[in-house]
């Protein structure tokens, strides 16, 4: 929520997520490169964060009372860009500059170029430690009413740095961190359980001293509930394992790891947009 | 020499890393936003003084150098000035990509302190004798690279880093070495200093090798050669004006450092002179090889990193150049 503390109805949030997916497809097609599956799968989580959970102000990105959102898996930045545009950080037409020379919307997010990004990321596994450093600094400053959210991919659970950060956050009981792992089961080379098995992921995080919650990451209500619940856990940092469908909303992209790092061509984009617009109709018809 | 306020007696020995410990303690007293983060080497890196004085601002990450610098990047994002320390072989040796992305490209004022750099680490052997850190860190945009010559200068450099808003790297040595500067010897980030004036050859050095160059200048003086010693504590950004002025005056340059000449200070000076003032030069340092176990002094002698070898290089250079002229 923003400074004005606006709340949105669930149908309104679901509609927003669908609009974000539509703009994602348009943007990725225009860019001609970029990641499709992860951003589509994360659209519901980003909608929940920017329109309901986060304390932030698009007019004042550096607002010193804001919550922090770290995107550790920087390749999913298209969904952050689209959500930020919808939230009012910049005009939507700028989305069409993604990955172009001179654009503020770099292929992987660069903090110095676009106000509102909290760090520069892309190389995987280092977001959680930065979130932990921020949480630690906030604790030193007795500013624990500010929350540090860290979105991670499941593929980056392969990285050693991730687990170094996990141990650190547990050691210092950094209960002002809420991590969200996008468990979509794919990475570039294939299914995560083939490339480098992660299961039992929940047990791993619990063994590392975290409080773990598992949710359907494409259920906006569940995302909001999990984040609210996480704030009540005081003795441990919280990991929300969010099961998402990669490519969510576009039938021919869903569950297909080939869409991890590829954008739609024009024909595919037309097909995807048609489907998303139809789905938008379904969501409205369900809730109205 | 008096104008540089160097010490009258050079008999006191102290490890350069001790100066960092004292400087960090002082920085902690001056500024509340200084934090110390260490990777299981609190006393070796001399961070214990800070840790004891400011336990609430001291963070222990264990043997996890990637976490060390990324936690530092996070703390810097929230307004802290983190000093992150380990051995140079591990930081920046182990965690260079994290430094590149989350500190240099991300432009966060994290102060990376790598102790136990150079061959003089001694008995621990090649794994722990970090020789490539200057090359690694010098290649990074936004990064400042500092190699103080003694304990006093390390303390001053630490305070200067605390007040600087850029990412910095400072390399420190393990062994006790002569303290030959004083509290009045000037230090500023980005400045090189002429510690001894001369007209025949410029000895351009950094870190522990500056003391060796001062000794080499004495040896050369006995042979009637007036060497100029230019101490370059900040390898990046390079004080081009001071270095070019000295090279222009003497027309002969010998560089010396306790690390790889490829990409190190020798590389930096060769790049500068090659583009702006081609000058006959020789580079003293590790020549594309690793070290091994041994006593510091015997290693320095074996690998040619002492006053005698610097003086010898100056002789060779002057002789070669004179022969070419005839």
pLDDT in tens, A120-163: 999 999 999 999 999 999 999 999 899 999 999 999 999 999 99
Is the pLDDT at A284 greater than 70? The verdict is no
Tell me what pLDDT residue B185 has: 97
- Measured CA to CA, the distance from residue B64 to residue B62 in angstroms comes to 6
Q: B67–A165: do the CB atoms touch at under 8 Å?
A: yes
Q: B102–A112: do the CB atoms touch at under 8 Å?
A: no
Tally A–B CB contacts below 8 A.
Answer: 99
Residue of chain B nearest A113, judged by CA positions: B106
Is the pLDDT at A282 greater than 70? The verdict is no
Q: Within an 8 Å CB–CB cutoff, is residue B98 touching chain A?
A: yes
Tell me what pLDDT residue B1 has: 43
CATH number 3.20.20.70 given to A10-287:
no
Residue of chain B nearest A148, judged by CA positions: B74
Q: Within an 8 Å CB–CB cutoff, is residue B79 touching chain A?
A: yes
Q: Within an 8 Å CB–CB cutoff, is residue B101 touching chain A?
A: yes
Which residues does A contribute to its contact with B (CB < 8 Å)? Answer: 68, 110-112, 118-123, 125-126, 129-138, 140-141, 160-161, 164-165, 167-168, 172
Determine the Cα angle at B177 with ends B175 and B182, to 5°.
135
- A201-246 confidence digits (pLDDT tens): 999 999 999 999 999 999 999 999 999 999 999 999 999 999 999 9
Mean pLDDT estimate for chain B: 96
- The full set of domains in chain B, from first to last, is 13-178 (3.40.50.970), 193-325 (3.40.50.920)
Which residues of A fall within a CB distance of 8 Å from B80?
A: 137, 140
Q: A121–B101: do the CB atoms touch at under 8 Å?
A: yes
Q: Specify whether the CB–CB gap between A208 and A166 falls below 8 A.
A: yes
Task: Report the residue of A130, A135, A152, A167 to disrupt the B interface, i.e. the one with the largest count of B CBs within 10 Å.
Answer: A130
Which residues of B fall within a CB distance of 8 Å from A164?
A: 61-62, 64, 66-67
The pTM score is 0.95
Tell me what pLDDT residue A7 has: 83
Q: B102–A137: do the CB atoms touch at under 8 Å?
A: no
Q: Which residues contact A57 (CB under 8 A, 6 or more apart)?
A: A2, A3, A63, A66
Task: Report the residue of A117, A120, A133 to disrupt the B interface, i.e. the one with the largest count of B CBs within 10 Å.
Answer: A133
Question: Confidence class of residue A287 from pLDDT cuts 50, 70 and 90?
Answer: very low
Closest partner CB to A138 (pick from B57, B78, B102) = B78
Question: Confidence class of residue B74 from pLDDT cuts 50, 70 and 90?
Answer: very high
Q: B64–A119: do the CB atoms touch at under 8 Å?
A: no
Tell me what pLDDT residue A5 has: 59
Question: Confidence class of residue B322 from pLDDT cuts 50, 70 and 90?
Answer: low
3-state secondary structure of A159: coil
Q: Within an 8 Å CB–CB cutoff, is residue B63 touching chain A?
A: no
- B253-275 confidence digits (pLDDT tens): 999 999 999 999 999 999 999 99
Which tokens hold the place of A60?
A: 């004042």
Domain boundaries, chain A: 10-287
ipTM (interface predicted TM): 0.94
């Amino acid at each position: 929520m923003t400074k004005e503390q606006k709340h949105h109805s669930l149908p309104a949030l679901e509609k927003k997520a669908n609009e974000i997916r539509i703009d994602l497809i348009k943007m990725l097609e225009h860019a001609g490169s970029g990641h499709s599956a992860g951003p589509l799968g994360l659209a519901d989580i980003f909608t929940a964060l920017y329109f309901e959970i986060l304390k932030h102000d698009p007019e004042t990105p550096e607002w010193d009372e804001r919550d922090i959102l770290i995107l550790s898996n920087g390749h999913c930045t298209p969904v952050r860009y689209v959500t930020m545009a919808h939230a009012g950080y910049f005009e939507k037409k700028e989305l069409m500059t993604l990955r172009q020379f001179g654009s503020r919307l770099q292929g992987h997010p660069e903090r110095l170029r676009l106000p509102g990004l909290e760090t520069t990321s892309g190389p995987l596994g280092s977001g959680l430690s930065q979130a932990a450093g921020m949480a630690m600094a906030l604790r030193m400053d007795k500013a624990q009413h500010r929350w540090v959210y860290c979105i991670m991919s499941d593929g980056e659970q392969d990285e050693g740095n991730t687990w170094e950060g996990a141990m650190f956050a547990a050691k210092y009981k950094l209960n002002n961190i809420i991590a969200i792992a996008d468990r979509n089961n794919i990475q570039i080379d294939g299914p995560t359980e083939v490339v480098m098995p992660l299961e039992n992921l929940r047990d791993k995080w619990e063994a590392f001293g975290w409080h773990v919650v598992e949710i359907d990451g494409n259920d906006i209500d569940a995302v909001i509930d999990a984040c609210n619940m996480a704030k009540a856990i005081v003795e441990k940092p919280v990991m929300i394992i969010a099961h998402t469908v990669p490519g969510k909303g576009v039938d021919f992209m869903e569950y297909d790891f080939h869409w991890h790092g590829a954008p739609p061509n024009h024909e595919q984009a037309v097909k995807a947009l048609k489907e998303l617009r139809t789905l938008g109709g379904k969501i409205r018809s369900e809730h109205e | 020499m008096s104008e540089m306020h160097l010490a009258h007696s050079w008999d006191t020995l102290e490890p350069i890393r001790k100066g960092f410990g004292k400087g960090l303690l002082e920085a902690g007293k001056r500024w509340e936003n200084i934090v110390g983060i260490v990777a299981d080497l609190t006393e070796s890196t001399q961070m214990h003084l800070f840790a004891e004085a400011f336990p609430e601002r001291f963070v222990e990450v264990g043997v996890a150098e990637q976490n060390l610098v990324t936690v530092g990047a996070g703390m810097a994002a929230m307004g802290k000035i983190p000093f992150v320390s380990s051995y140079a072989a591990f930081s920046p040796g182990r965690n260079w990509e994290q430094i590149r992305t989350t500190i240099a490209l991300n432009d966060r004022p994290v102060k990376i302190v790598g102790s136990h750099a150079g061959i003089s680490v001694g008995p621990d052997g090649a794994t722990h004798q970090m020789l490539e850190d200057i090359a690694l860190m010098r290649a990074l945009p936004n990064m400042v690279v500092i190699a103080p010559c003694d304990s006093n200068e390390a303390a001053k450099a630490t305070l200067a880093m605390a007040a600087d808003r850029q990412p910095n790297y400072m390399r420190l040595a393990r062994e006790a070495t002569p303290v030959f500067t004083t509290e009045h010897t000037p230090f500023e980030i980005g400045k090189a200093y002429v510690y001894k004036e001369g007209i025949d050859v410029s000895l351009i050095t950094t870190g522990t090798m500056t003391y060796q160059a001062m000794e080499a200048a004495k040896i050369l003086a006995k042979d009637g050669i007036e060497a100029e010693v230019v101490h370059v504590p900040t390898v990046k950004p390079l004080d081009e004006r001071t270095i070019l002025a000295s090279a222009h005056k003497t027309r002969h340059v010998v560089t010396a450092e306790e690390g790889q000449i490829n990409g190190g200070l020798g590389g930096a000076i060769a790049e500068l002179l090659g583009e702006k003032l081609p000058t006959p030069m020789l580079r003293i340092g590790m020549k594309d090889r690793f070290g091994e176990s041994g006593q510091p002094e015997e290693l320095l002698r074996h690998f040619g990193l002492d006053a005698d070898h610097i003086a010898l290089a100056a002789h060779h250079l002057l002789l070669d150049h004179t022969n070419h002229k005839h």
